[in-house]
Structure 1
């Protein structure tokens, strides 16, 4: 195996899920499949006012989420997990140049982190069926999820295209290597 199997899980926190999210159980199940098959897991957690204060119940990860021993945790205060965080340092120290991303919210933190990561040269695979969001005034969650998967598939980044794959496909590829 040439590269570590790395999964970055964004904002799967109790306070975030106080707003109902599309297919929560299915999303968590797929994320757990990825984290159980990976070599390295990085949990990104959003900290902020209104129930997401560090150390609060709302800041905690969902109880049904698999948290493997040795997982890394990065706290952020903006949608983009790279913005004023230790994420880039952690990735560099661990020799990570590529990772699978999943989590919440598709149209905010997942999207912002993907785009900034690609711009920084990271090779990112989006687990297309392991990210979720809430219904928004302009569009239902499933429409947003489908829309962003299409945007990421067509995202123009010469020499560093995004990959968008089903969880099952990612796991099969990992087993083959």
Structure 2
């Protein structure tokens, strides 16, 4: 296994926040599910990552029940790790790098919620760690931040990552490249 799909923070915690009403793509599960099916068809590792803040008494506190995958998402299969992180990236507070090393993974495909935060940060660190990074821009989403629109944030993220930290692509382009359309 050379490639892994990292699904970052596509979780009910975000839907439980008032900001969900402003999310750029409330149907984020659909493109993520397409990537999950594509990864499985090609024998790639699928790694599920959830953000949690134990003891915070907010939507990211696992005790409140929102730290779980969006209901519309494919369910993890046997052998697909489900990691819980407490940092902005999927590496620092998990054993992700160890799992990838043990599986012989050298290429990461990333998607998820908060384009400019957890998905971008994971991409930058993955690139620094030597992984070939593929950022699937239309399988990420975010909300406006500090008066900047979600679309502007997504556009900025794409610009700063492109050809420096990651290859930027879309779900459809990846399906074409890998020879399968699994809508």
Distance 1:14 1:103 in 2: 12
Alignment-derived partner of residue 170 in structure 2 = 166
* 8 Å CA contact retained: 1:11, 1:104: yes
Tell me by how many angstroms 1:54 deviates.
Answer: 3.0
5+ long unaligned stretches in structure 1: 156-160
CA displacement 1:12-45 (0-9 Å, x = unmatched): 11112323121121x2211100101113211111
Distance 1:55 1:72 in 2: 21
Tell me by how many angstroms 1:62 deviates.
Answer: 0.4
CA displacement 1:80-130 (0-9 Å, x = unmatched): 111131111111111111121000111111111111110000111000111
1:36 to 2:42 alignment = no
Alignment-derived partner of residue 101 in structure 1 = 110
* 8 Å CA contact retained: 1:81, 1:87: yes
TM-score normalized by structure 2?
0.85
TM-score normalized by structure 1?
0.88
Alignment-derived partner of residue 83 in structure 1 = 92
* 8 Å CA contact retained: 2:3, 2:106: no
Distance 2:13 2:149 in 1: 20
5+ long unaligned stretches in structure 2: none
Alignment-derived partner of residue 157 in structure 2 = 148
Aligned residues: 168
Distance 1:7 1:16 in 2: 21
Alignment-derived partner of residue 23 in structure 1 = 25
1:110 to 2:119 alignment = yes
* 8 Å CA contact retained: 1:14, 1:61: yes
Correspondent of 2:73 among 61, 65, 74 = 65
Q: Quote the RMSD (CA, aligned, Å).
A: 1.6
1:74 to 2:83 alignment = yes
Q: Aligned runs of 1:103-142 on 2, under 5 Å?
A: 103-142=112-151
Change (3 A) 1:55 1:98: farther
* 8 Å CA contact retained: 2:76, 2:82: no
